[in-house]
């Protein structure tokens, strides 16, 4: 048993010291991988920036009672469309009608007293000060009657604008207090779609806009705004290319809220929905290179540029935008430069390339990305 253990230990030790076996074909392929060189391509590109959004009605309010009493009638249903001025709720009017009648009677009495005092004043029986006193009493009585009339009118709750009725908060027979919510009303003719934009994107949009005196409205130059709903379909209305920008940045997130206004004639959109806003921007004469032609060192991007002397030089690049398989370059290389596309791991800074293949940039971008990459 002991001899067997020593033999097993020696075999294990020998196996660990042997080099890893590399398939001959794979090793041969790595040693002889062809170096491919191409150039940046200047073309018009369409950039798409997605943002999660919240869809709100242009006007979404609480419909509240302005009078105390029992809820006598509910004249609307949940989800019903109403017009401005339509009666929605009725609160019991008995006490308010009695108060209005009493105050109206007081006003009528004050008017009779004033007329009688004026007659006496014309006969020099009473002074003008007495007439002024009864004028003030009439004005006060009329004010109380008008207040009673307003309180009586408050027992009828009407729609302040065209909209859609939300959930009914109270039922017929409920005792209602002044200021208590009865339902919500949404004006869905135009929807306000809010989305948060990072500060970098905000500055980018402002720089492309140029000078504009109206700071609350921002024109997204050469851009198109789309709204994608939860089912993946694109909303069919066009809000234009101008958005409203809030006044302040959120210090915790570094974002600022944008608002796009979407017409909603079919009332498809409802208050509280969510979706995605897509901002498509067309960039002319953009410098585009494949992502696989770059490499990263300490969070910075580089390419190998082949000079006129056929020597390779490492060069830092600044990326403006990232797309599916390409980078749009802000600075670092020019359209006339030649860059290493394939075989990046085989070249070094300052190395002279003796044998490489040149491929046109249009052909490179037309090819699908290799699965191994």
Q: Which domains does the chain have, with CATH numbers?
A: 48-58+188-284 (2.40.30.170), 93-154 (1.10.287.470)
Question: How many helices (H) and strands (E) would you count in the chain?
Answer: 6, 20
Mean pLDDT of the residues in the chain:
88
**What angle separates helix 94-122 from helix 128-153, to the nearest 10 degrees?**
160
Range with lowest mean pLDDT among 118-132, 249-263, 277-291: 118-132
Residues in Cβ contact with 178 at an 8 Å cutoff, skipping those fewer than 6 apart: 65, 66, 67, 68
* For residues 66-93, average pLDDT: 95
How confident is the model at residue 364, as a pLDDT? 86
Contact yes or no for 300/316 (Cβ under 8 A): yes
| Per-residue pLDDT at 19 exceeds 70 | no
- Count of C-beta atoms within a 10 Å radius of residue 65: 20
Residues in Cβ contact with 269 at an 8 Å cutoff, skipping those fewer than 6 apart: 55, 188, 191, 235, 262
pLDDT band at 20 (very low <50, low <70, confident <90, very high): very low
In angstroms, the CA 329 to CA 306 distance is 18
* For residues 308-337, average pLDDT: 91
* For residues 301-326, average pLDDT: 91
Contact yes or no for 189/265 (Cβ under 8 A): yes
pLDDT band at 263 (very low <50, low <70, confident <90, very high): very high
In angstroms, the CA 341 to CA 354 distance is 16
| Per-residue pLDDT at 3 exceeds 90 | no
How confident is the model at residue 14, as a pLDDT? 46
- Of 47, 45, 41, 46, which Cα lies nearest the Cα of 341? 41
Q: 């090793």: which residue's tokens?
A: 27
How confident is the model at residue 209, as a pLDDT? 77
Q: Identify the burial level of 45 via C-beta atoms within 10 angstroms of its C-beta, where 0-12 means exposed, 13-18 middle and 19 or more buried.
A: middle
SS3 content of the chain, % helix, strand, coil (to 5): 25, 40, 35
Q: 């802000």: which residue's tokens?
A: 330
* Beta bridge partners of residue 318, listed in sequence order: 331
pLDDT digits (tens, 9 = 90+) for 126-166: 788 898 999 999 999 999 999 999 999 999 999 999 999 99
What stretches of the chain adopt beta strand conformation (E)?
36-38, 41-64, 69-74, 81-82, 87-91, 156-158, 163-165, 175-176, 181-198, 217-219, 223-228, 242-245, 255-263, 274-290, 295-297, 300-306, 312-322, 326-331, 338-342, 357-358
pTM: 0.74
pLDDT band at 27 (very low <50, low <70, confident <90, very high): very low
Range with lowest mean pLDDT among 100-114, 197-211, 275-289: 197-211
100, two tokens: 């209005």
| 29-33, 135-139, 216-220, 361-365: which is most confident | 135-139
* Beta bridge partners of residue 317, listed in sequence order: 301
- Of 185, 100, 181, which Cα lies nearest the Cα of 148? 100
* Beta bridge partners of residue 148, listed in sequence order: none
| Per-residue pLDDT at 183 exceeds 80 | yes
Calculate what percentage of the chain has a pLDDT beyond 70.
88
Looking at residue 346, what DSSP letter applies? G
Contact yes or no for 165/79 (Cβ under 8 A): yes
Query: What is the separation of C-alpha 134 from the centre of its chain, rounded to a whole number of angstroms?
Result: 62
- Count of C-beta atoms within a 10 Å radius of residue 121: 17
In angstroms, the CA 296 to CA 316 distance is 9
How confident is the model at residue 212, as a pLDDT? 57
Range with lowest mean pLDDT among 159-163, 223-227, 295-299, 367-371: 367-371
Range with lowest mean pLDDT among 175-189, 193-207, 263-277, 357-371: 357-371
Contact yes or no for 361/39 (Cβ under 8 A): yes
């Amino acid at each position: 048993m002991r001899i067997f253990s020593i033999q097993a230990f020696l075999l294990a030790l020998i196996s660990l010291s042997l080099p890893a076996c590399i398939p001959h074909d794979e090793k041969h392929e790595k040693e002889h991988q062809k170096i491919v060189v191409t150039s940046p391509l200047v073309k018009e590109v369409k950039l798409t920036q997605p943002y999660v959004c919240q869809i709100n009605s242009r006007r979404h309010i609480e419909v509240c009672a302005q009078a105390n009493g029992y809820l006598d009638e509910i004249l609307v249903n949940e989800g019903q469309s109403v017009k401005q001025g339509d009666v929605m709720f009725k609160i019991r009017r008995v006490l308010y009608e009695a108060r209005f009648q009493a105050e109206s009677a007081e006003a009528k009495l004050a008017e009779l007293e004033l007329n009688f005092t004026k007659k006496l004043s014309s006969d020099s029986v009473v002074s003008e000060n007495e007439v002024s006193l009864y004028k003030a009493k009439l004005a006060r009585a009329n004010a109380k009657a008008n207040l009673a009339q307003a309180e009586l009118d408050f027992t009828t709750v009407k729609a302040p604008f065209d909209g859609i009725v939300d959930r009914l908060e109270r039922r017929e027979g409920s005792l209602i207090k002044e200021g208590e919510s009865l339902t919500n009303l949404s004006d869905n003719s135009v929807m306000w779609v809010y989305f948060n934009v990072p500060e970098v994107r905000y500055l980018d949009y402002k720089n492309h806009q140029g000078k504009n005196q109206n700071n609350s409205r921002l024109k997204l130059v050469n851009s198109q705004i789309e709204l994608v709903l939860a089912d993946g379909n694109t909303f069919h209305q066009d809000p234009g290319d101008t958005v409203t920008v809030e006044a302040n940045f959120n210090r915790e997130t570094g974002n600022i809220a944008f608002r796009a206004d979407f017409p909603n004639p079919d009332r498809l959109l409802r208050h509280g929905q969510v979706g995605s806003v897509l901002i498509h921007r067309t960039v002319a004469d953009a410098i585009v290179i494949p992502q696989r032609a770059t490499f990263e060192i300490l969070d910075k991007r580089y390419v190998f540029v082949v000079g006129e002397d056929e020597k390779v030089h490492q060069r830092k690049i600044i990326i403006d935008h990232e797309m599916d398989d390409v980078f749009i370059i802000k600075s670092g290389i020019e359209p006339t430069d030649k860059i290493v596309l394939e075989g990046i791991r085989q070249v070094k800074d300052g190395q002279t390339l003796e044998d490489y293949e040149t491929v046109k940039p249009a052909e490179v971008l037309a090819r699908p990305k290799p699965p191994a990459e």
